[in-house]
Amino acid sequence: MPDFEEQRRRMVQRYRELGYIKTDAMARAMLKVPREEFMDPAYVEYAYVDQPFPIPGDGRQTISAPYMYPVFYEPLQLKRGDKVLEVGAGSGYGAALAWELVAPDGLVVSMEINPVTYRFAKENLKRTGYDKVILILGDGSLGYPEEAPYDAICITASCPEIPPPLIEQLASPGRLMAPVGSPLNPFGQDLVLLEKDERGRIRRRRLMKVAYVPLIGKYGWSTR
């Protein structure tokens, strides 16, 4: 088997040099979480290659390229004690990284609409010791009001617009990241950072172009 620990160390060093990783906390999280444990076994040897790979589901689900996690999480400024909602659990890797950033006093809720992908994430998180993550099978575009409000919300699928329930469940102040735009657009979607201030006022900023699978659900591109 490859030396995954060495590959992980080189990945973090590379992402620091490229500017994806900006904080020591993000570097520590990515050094600690074993990405290989969240890969489909057919692709495990490519765990630290800078591209997405398929995971169990309906044929559309992927584990994102590893650099996309700091691209999402650094602007969210996750810190110890934060409550985080992730829409689209996928492999569970993103939830594990989020837990490392907010533990031990924080909370991570991760939602997945596909039952096969949900089971894959659940098994991965349990096996790697991240079973404190609250994993929910359901429509992530509706959020999870039981644990709201959230200091940060991360949507890992492209949406037509940021779902109103998620904006409602965002704390004041709070930050939300989402790819907005059609998954069929050849130029990709806009990665949008939405910030809500102490008075509930909202500001949006476009950070970069990205390519994500479509959000499925009431406020997504289609429903199951």
Sheet with 83-87: strands ordered across? 134-137, 107-112, 83-87, 150-155, 170-180, 189-196, 202-210
147 domain-assigned = yes
Q: What are the backbone angles phi and psi of residue 103, rounded to the nearest 5°?
A: -70, 160
Please tell me the predicted confidence (pLDDT) of residue 222.
80
Selected catalytic residue, list 64, 91, 110, 141:
64
36 domain-assigned = no
173 domain-assigned = yes
Domains: count for the chain: 1
CA torsion, ordered 205, 152, 211, 6, to nearest 10 deg: 120
Intervals of the chain under pLDDT 50:
none
Please tell me the predicted confidence (pLDDT) of residue 175.
98
To the query of whether residue 182 is one of the catalytic residues in this protein, the response is no
SS3 56: coil
The tens digit of pLDDT for each residue in 138-158 reads: 999 999 999 999 999 999 999
The tens digit of pLDDT for each residue in 61-77 reads: 999 999 999 999 999 99
143 domain-assigned = yes
40 domain-assigned = no
CATH of the domain at 141: 3.40.50.150
219 domain-assigned = no
Please tell me the predicted confidence (pLDDT) of residue 25.
98
Boundaries of domain holding 62 = 50-210
30 domain-assigned = no
Residue in this structure with the two tokens 């890797």, named with its chain if needed: 93
Please tell me the predicted confidence (pLDDT) of residue 224.
55
29 domain-assigned = no
